[in-house]
Amino acid sequence: MNQHVRNQHYVPQFLLKNFSSRGDKFIWAYDKNEKYNIHNQIKERAIRRVASEEFFYDQFKSSKIGSYEYALKEAEDAAAPIISNIINTKSIRDLSKKDRRRLSLFITLQYLRTKGQLLQTEYLTNTLSEQIKQKTNIQIEKVDSKKIWFLMLEQSIKFPEILMNKVWMLSESNNSFYISDNPVALQNSTDTSKVRGTLGLQSFGIEIYLPLSPSLTLCLFCEKLFKNSGYEKNFIENSTCAPENIKNLNSLQINYSQRFIFSHKKDFDLVKKQLKNTTHK
């Protein structure tokens, strides 16, 4: 019987290795939680030890039975060679329907599986319980947020079709992209309503971004925008990012990160500037 995986990654190692600083083993990391020790704030860390936590996906701690680690690993193994080929060819033109489906599942799971998403689930469930208590004076039994989060992972099979229908594109840079510990970032530049949510996977104008390497970010755009213009293909040609586009994509990684921003090089000036401006607001 295979030994149970102890250190479970919520960002796959194969993806982080694309951003490695040396030998597929190390990566530069900026720790947002470290406020005082500069050496620990920006540090070259072992990839096997970042964006991970012991028994993170276990329903029963230290037990292989019922652990989500292995279903997630299957999705990783299916997506890894497709992403490797995209990086090598710098193209998504020839992706088969099967490849798009596998990548769509991978992106969906990557969006849901991080510690940042778990903490967000905990925050929302606790907030809802508190609001019910305040309005009804009824004490709600403590909700197991992690069970709800696991249920979300189980329901993820419903979402890949939504992503498959998007219009896909590769954004290119000169080795300038960051990745974070919560790397699937959403944006809506079309619908900027402050009254309703605009970041649902089916929202009009939704944009979905996943960095694949320092030079490539996979972009998924709302298909409705293109169909309204008569465009029927499911991809558009690569776009070379202008400096402001690179800054925007990296800013999204900083905003979505739970704790760490990663890079293949020791350059986190944008992170420092953005976090400083956020603190001073």
Write down the pLDDT at residue 247: 98
- Please check the confidence at residue 147 and state whether its pLDDT lies above 80: yes
- Please check the confidence at residue 206 and state whether its pLDDT lies above 70: yes
Give domain status of residue 2, yes or no.
no
Nearest to 43 by CA among 268, 234, 232, 244: 268
- Could you tell me which residue, 228 or 55, shows the higher pLDDT? 55
Give domain status of residue 237, yes or no.
yes
Give domain status of residue 249, yes or no.
yes
- Dump pLDDT digits (tens) for 224-280: 999 888 898 999 999 999 999 999 999 999 999 999 999 999 999 999 999 988 765
Number of structural domains (the chain) is 1
Nearest to 68 by CA among 4, 141, 135: 4
Give domain status of residue 1, yes or no.
no
Which pLDDT band holds residue 1 (cuts at 50, 70, 90)? very low
Domain holding 254, by residue range, is 7-280
